[in-house]
Amino acid sequence: MNHPMSLRSLRRAVLFTAWLVLSGVLAGCATPPAPTPPAPVKNVAAAIQMPSPVTLDDGRGVSLKPNSSLGLTPPTDIWERIRRGFAMPDLNDDFVRNREQWYASRPDYILRMTERSRPYLFHIVEELERRNMPTELALLPFIESAFNPHAVSSAKAAGMWQFMPATGKYFDLKQNLFRDERRDVLESTRAALDYLQKLYGMFGDWHLALAAYNWGEGSVSRAIARNKAQGKPTNYSDLNMPNETRYYVPKLQAVKNIVAQPEAFNTQLPLIQNHPFFKSVPIDRDIDVAMAARLAGISVEDFKTLNPSMNRPVILAAGTPQVLLPWDNATSFEINLQNHANQKLATWTAWQAPRTMKADEAASLLNMPVDQLRSTNGIPPNMLVKAGSTLLVHRKGQLDNDVTERVADNAQLAFAPEIVLRRILVTARKGDTLASLAARHGVSAANMATWNKLGPQINLKPGQSLAVLVPTSQSPRLSPKPVPHKKTAPAVAQRPAPKAVKR
C-alpha cells in the first residue's frame, strides 16, 4: 500500500520543483533590469549573436569548411559568403606565388575587376550553392575575362565564361543575328557550371576539371594517359601541359588567396552586399533596347551591362522572353510597360530575303535608304544578300508585327559575291543548239534565249552570232536563273531554318 503513495509523492515533488524553476524563469523575464534601449536593428540576421564557428574534424583528419559549422551568422557581404564555401584543395607552389605577386602589384586592376563583378557575383554564388559546388569557382570569370561579358578572345571565345562557338552550341547557347547567349548572364552561367560538373564527373578532381575547361577534355585525358604509360603521377602539377594551362589553376588559387586574406596582400575588396543585384522581368512584345532602358529609368549602357547578349537595337520577345534589370528598377519597368500596353515599343524588326538579291533591290522592296540598310546590317560592297538571310529593317506597313520564334531563334545573315557581267558575242557552230552553246559558256539556255530574244526551241544556223553575258571576275557565280518578269512582294521566306546539330 505504501508503494503507490510513494510514486505519487515523487511525481508531486518533481512537478513542484519544475513549477518553481519555471516560476523563477518567468519572474526573471517579467522583471529584467532596465538597460539603455538598443538602437533600431536594420539587419535582423546580422544582429543575432551566434556562437563562434567551431572547426570540427570529420574523422579522417580533414577540417570541415566553415559553412559546415552550426550557428554561423549569415554573411553580410558576398566575399564572406564565398570564403565560407571554399571546398577545393589548395595549390601551393611557385606558380601560385608568381601569380599572387602579379595581382598584388596591380591593385587598380583588382579593383576594376572586382567592381565589374558586382552585378553578377550574387547570382553565380547562388547557383554554385544550389548545385553544392565549391564557391571559389565564382572567381573563375576573373581569370577568364576579368568579368567582362563583352570580352572576345583571339580564338573567338566570348562572354565572361569564354565559350567557344562550338562548345556554346553543345551546351545549348543560342548564337544568332539577334543574340549571343555566350554573353548572357543567366544562360552562360548555367552552361559553364554544367560544363564544370561534367568535367569533374570525368576526372574526379577539380584541378584537372579546370585544366580541361581551359585546355580541352581530350588534351587532359591524353596527358593523363601519357603519364600513366610512363608510370608517373597524374595530378594536375605532374602533367605536361601548355604554359597557359600550367598557370591557369595557379591564377585561380592566387585570386582565392587574395579574397581569403586581402589584408595580407595589401588589397581592399569593394563592399558587395549579399543581396540580388538584378531581377528577371518577363516581356511579351518586341521592344527597342533604348525603349526598355527608358522604361526602366536606367541608361542604355547599364541595360547592356545586365543584358550583354543583345546583338541588335531591338529585343525579340519570341527569342528573349525576359530581361534583367537592377533590383530597384524592375518594378518601375513593369508599371511603365503596362502603361504602354497600347503604344508602339519597337521601331525595328526582322525581314527575311525571299531570294538572293543586291542590297539596293532589297532596300527598294523595303522602302528604306540603301546606305542605311547597308550600315545597319553590315553589308559589304559588291556583295549580294543570300536567300533566307535575315535583315534588321524599319518596322512599318506589312512589317509591323512581332517576329516569330522561328526567325528569332535562327536568324542568320549570309552574303555572296556580286558578279559584274559583260556582254560578248559568240558564234554558233554546225549542230549547235541553245543548250549546247549555253553549256559551253557556263550559262543557262533560258538566259541565252532571254539575252538574244529568241524562243527556247529555235534552230541555230552555223555562223550565227549570239550575245552572252559572262562574269568579269573569277568570283564564284550564283546558279543562273531565268530573269523574273514580276517583282516579288516583300514577305518572310517560308523556307524552314536548318536545325542546330549538337556535337
Report the distance separating Cα 183 and Cα 165, nearest Å. Answer: 11
Report the distance separating Cα 141 and Cα 121, nearest Å. Answer: 10
Active site residues: 144
Q: Is the dihedral of CA 235, 239, 242, 243 positive or negative?
A: positive
CA dihedral 462, 464, 465, 468 (to 10 degrees): -70
Beta strands 322-326 and 383-385 are: unpaired
Position 447, amino acid? N
Specify the pLDDT at position 233. Answer: 97
Residue 342, Cβ density class (10 Å: 0-12 exposed, 13-18 middle, ≥19 buried): exposed
Strand partners, 158: 152, 163
Domains of the chain: 73-265 (1.10.530), 278-339 (no CATH), 348-417 (no CATH), 421-471 (3.10.350.10)
Report the distance separating Cα 89 and Cα 420, nearest Å. Answer: 65
**Type and span of the H or E element at 179:** none
Specify the pLDDT at position 74. Answer: 85
Specify the pLDDT at position 76. Answer: 87
Entry pTM:
0.72
Alpha carbons within 13 angstroms on the beta-carbon side of residue 488 total 15
CB distance 181 to 188 below 8 Å: yes
Q: Tell me how far CA of residue 342 lies from CA of 161, 339, 345, in angstroms.
A: 39, 8, 9
In tens digits, the chain (503 residues) has pLDDT values of 444 444 444 445 544 444 444 444 333 333 333 333 333 333 333 333 333 333 333 333 333 344 444 446 889 899 999 999 999 999 999 999 999 999 999 999 999 999 999 999 999 999 999 999 999 999 999 999 999 999 999 999 999 999 999 999 999 999 999 999 999 999 999 999 999 999 999 999 999 999 999 999 999 999 999 999 999 999 999 999 999 999 999 999 999 999 999 999 999 999 999 999 999 999 999 999 999 999 999 999 999 999 999 999 999 999 999 999 999 999 999 999 999 998 999 999 999 999 999 999 999 999 999 999 999 999 999 899 999 999 999 998 777 889 999 999 999 999 988 877 788 899 999 888 888 888 888 888 888 888 898 887 888 889 999 999 887 754 444 434 444 444 433 333 333 444 443 33
How does DSSP classify residue 61?
Answer: S
All three cell numbers of 367, joined, read: 522602302
